[in-house]
Structure 1
Amino acid sequence: MRRELDVILDDVIDRHKRNRVENEYGGGRRLGNSEFGSEDLVDVFLRVQEKGQLEFPIDNDNIKAVLYDIFTAGTETSSSTIDWTMVELLRHPQVMTKTQAEVRQALKGNSVEQTNMVYSMKYLKLVIKETMRLHPPVPIVLRACKEEQVINGYTIPLGKKVLVNIWAMHRDPRYWKDPEKFKSERFENQSLDFVDGDCHFLPFGAGKRMCPGITFGLATVEFALSQLLYNFDWKLPEDVRGEDLDMTENVGLTVVRKHNLFVDVTPYN
């Protein structure tokens, strides 16, 4: 797998090198790419590489290492979000039915790769938000104090590391009505989003240090769930009820299910 990815990344870098062009940008000149459009991260690395703008030289292996981190860092968080979303849908059949109806209506006669189709799946986005509220991909984030602060009588010195409990904030009854219940509609009339939302909803962190892969991660989750919900019908085994599903968590850097999920799956149409 690693060797296959290495070949793919080599090809990406080579194609960027072959198709680099200069474009007008803000009254000046800026490198772009005739195949990939405006200057992207790979173009930036190639420009730095050519001009020797760093104290140490970077080669293609360095560029591939960064790209590998970008594409793989969110694998576990994305997969756990997909897993938790499917569990919550199976526990709430009415939500499953409504979500599948929206997905199948949006994708009927269309390709799931069409971005505008994903944008139209508003209820799916509500379901994903509510899943991330109850099951944040990263339950605790680490921050350092930029200045001394006093919180509830406790003095936190400058530079002190602080653990922020995202999981607890997402279930705090002061901010959420019925916090332990899965209610995707709670986001329907709220302006909360992943970037500009209030500080009681932080599945990707907040501020300058929030997750840089938010767009890529969300696209991965939405694409995967769209495929799963469009192409298959899902139900629990006959002897299992949704309310009886074991929701025990394995908590580490990410929150994943402790036990495997067993379901009956049949192809749609």
Structure 2
Amino acid sequence: MAPATISTPRYLLDQAKRKLTPTPNTIPGMGAVDKRLQEKEWDQFVFAEPPAGSDLKPIMGDSGVPIIGHMIEIFRRGPDYILERYRREGPVYYAESPALSSVLALGPDATQAVFSNRNKDYSQRAWDPVIGPFFEGGLMLLDFEEHMFHRRIMQEAFTRTRLAGYVPHVDSVATKVLANDWVANDPRFLFFPSIKELTLDIASEVFMGHPAGTDKELVTTVNHAFTTTTRAGNAIVRKPVPPLKWWRGIQARKTLENYFLSRIDEKRRSESTDMFSVLCHSADEDGQTFTDAQIVSHMIFLMMAAHDTSTSTMTTMAYHLAANPEWQDRLREESERIGDGPLDIDSLDKLENYDLVINESLRMMTPLPFNFRQAIRDTDLLGYFIPAGTNVVTWPSINHRLPELWTDPEKFDPERFAEPRSEHKKHRYAFAPFGGGAHKCIGMVFGQLEIKTVMHRLLRQYRLELPRPGYQPRYDYGGMPVPIDGMPIVLRPLR
């Protein structure tokens, strides 16, 4: 199904309904652009007038700055900016954008309404204009019965037995790379690109069955292609015009397709336990299996999702453990009880303080801060009228920072997830880093096991320190949040 296109003029029923002036100094350090953004008065209009006689409320909206809309604020400030909009405009508001005009569904109640999707009003096709050309056929982009069919087959790759088999491979790669490739005592050591390379090495072995470093094409061409496809979704010009970002993303997708297609026959003949092989052999209860094209699409999406989200989470963890050495000590003490022997899934289950820190890191810097949906019929959202074809964007990451749900939400405080506080239980969607409903992340348990394994090995070998007192990272929010400076962290050997 082709994505519906929203024709903005159709809904501009009441131009200049009232004026809205942005809060001063909302985007520090942007010079003349900053000044123009702060002084601009935005015309607010009615986006969608409900049907006559309806009790539904109309959705208000604005277009932001001409041509660029609100893209600068979102790219520079991400969830901080969206949180301001929520406080100012409420849970349902329309934002016109040159990239993807959409209704913002903000706060835990709106998140729940969209994610639960009880009447199947919302489709995943809103992702099409964002990442569709790069990750078409991935599980996140499938809908309803097709999604459930694919998920049932794919679940075979994520059973506890399969997960237990992946742990030794993750452990082997992490132990080797941390011992041989990472640089100690160097304030210029950049954690983000280093952990990204490590997670790709892990994906190479666990997903592909290639020992880390043995597949030169994976390390060079494929790694670059994954990075290109992931970042292409934030392109300003969303047309395949060479050599612009959108076009480069499409070319990178072709590179990934060729790489995986060339290896399917080998995987179908093998009985190995890597995820690629599992997908080649998995079937549902009726014996239905994936086609070659479906396997390729799932591998491209899984490889991206697996190593990018884990990379983001461990980067956030490293920063907060360096900035909060008392928590680093608590994790290290817990790791002492396991020691340096081979890890297995049962031993990782015992690292309960790691769970608290992982969750707090996901809360403070959510790898996928937003989710896209599209209304396939006229519906309502918290009493507001949503026309068919409307793109709807949820931002679970702002729920993670609401003081009505979390005590002192800007503070790193993993204890908030432990009994008796359990602040994440105040609302079903107070904490939703893995999405929710039918599309809740299928690989979240694998990701947690991978993070525990790598961070356990890291803390057994190094003490993490900030590069300078008071250091705080800055992020690019053009897609998944990425530290602009690469996140320098000093590794002090423990022995």
TM-score by length of 1: 0.74
Indicate whether 1:187 and 2:417 are aligned.
yes
Give the stretch that moved more between structures: 67-76 or 225-234: 67-76
Aligned to 1:266: 492
Residue matched to 2:100: none
Instruction: Specify which of 65, 71, 85 is matched with residue 303 of structure 2.
Output: 71
How far the C-alpha of 1:210 sits from its partner, in A, is 2.1
1:192 touches 1:201 (CA, 8 Å); kept in 2?
Answer: yes
Larger % of strand: which?
1
Deviation string, structure 1 residues 232-266 (Cα, Å, up to 9, x no partner): 222234xx22xx22232210221122223333323
SS for the counterpart of 1:71 is helix
Q: State the alpha-carbon separation in 2 of the partners of residues 141 and 103 from structure 1.
A: 35
The reply to whether residue 199 of structure 1 matches residue 199 of structure 2 is no
**C-alpha distance in 1, partners of 2:418/2:323?**
20
8 Å CA contact retained: 1:84, 1:257? no
Q: Partner of 1:216 in structure 2? A: 446
Look up the SS of the partner of 2:371 in the other structure: strand
Number of equivalences: 234
Relative to structure 1, the CA distance from residue 187 to residue 47 in structure 2 (aligned partners, 3 Å threshold; closer, same or farther) is closer
CA separation in 2, counterparts of 1:71 and 1:119? 24
- State the match for 2:282 in structure 1: 44
Work out whether 1:87 is the aligned partner of 2:313. no
Contact residue 45 and residue 63 of structure 1 kept, 8 A:
no
- The Cα of 1:135 is off from its aligned counterpart by 0.5
1:6-40 CA deviation, whole Å, 9 max, x = no partner? 58876543223xx9xxxxxxxxxxxxxxx79xx95
Larger mean CA deviation between 259-268 and 205-214 belongs to 259-268
1:135 maps to what in 2? Answer: 365
The structural deviation recorded for 1:170 is 0.7
In 2, Cα distance between equivalents of 1:110 and 1:148 = 56
Partners of 1:46 and 1:12 in 2: how far apart?
19
Which residue matches 1:256?
Answer: 482
Superposed displacement of residue 200, structure 1? 1.4
Counterpart in the other structure of 2:269: 14
| Stretch moving more, 254-263 or 202-211 | 254-263
Relative to total residues, which structure has the larger helix share, 1 or 2? 2
Q: For 1:233 and 1:109, how far apart are their aligned partners in 2?
A: 16
Select 1:111's aligned residue among 329, 338, 342.
342
What letter corresponds to residue 408 of structure 2 in structure 1?
D
1:86 Cα shift?
0.4
Contact 1:90 1:234 (C-alpha < 8 Å) held by counterparts = yes
**For 1:171 and 1:46, how far apart are their aligned partners in 2?**
40
CA RMSD of aligned residues (A): 3.3
Residue 44 to residue 206, structure 1, CA distance change in 2 (3 Å) = same
Quote the Cα distance in structure 1 between the aligned partners of 2:309 and 2:218.
Answer: 23
Q: Does 1:144 align with 2:374?
A: yes
Deviation for aligned residue 1:226? 1.5
The question of whether the paired residues in 1 share the 8 Å contact of 2:319 and 2:489 is answered with: no
Q: Does 1:245 align with 2:471?
A: yes
TM-score by length of 2: 0.42
**Where does structure 1 lack aligned partners over 5 or more consecutive residues?**
20-34
One-letter code aligned to 1:110: G
The answer on 1:126 being equivalent to 2:359 is no
For the residue of structure 2 that corresponds to 1:163, the secondary structure is strand
- In the alignment, residue 41 of structure 1 is paired with which amino acid? L
Give the Cα separation in 2 of the matches to 1:192 and 1:168: 13
1: CA distance, partners of 2:294 / 2:438? 24
Worse overlay, 2-11 or 250-259: 2-11
Identity of aligned residues (%): 24
2:334 to 58, 81, 102: 102
Report if the CA contact (8 A) 2:279-2:295 is conserved: no
* Rounded Cα–Cα distance in structure 1 between residues aligned with 2:263 and 2:326: 42
Q: Which amino acid aligns with 1:94?
A: E
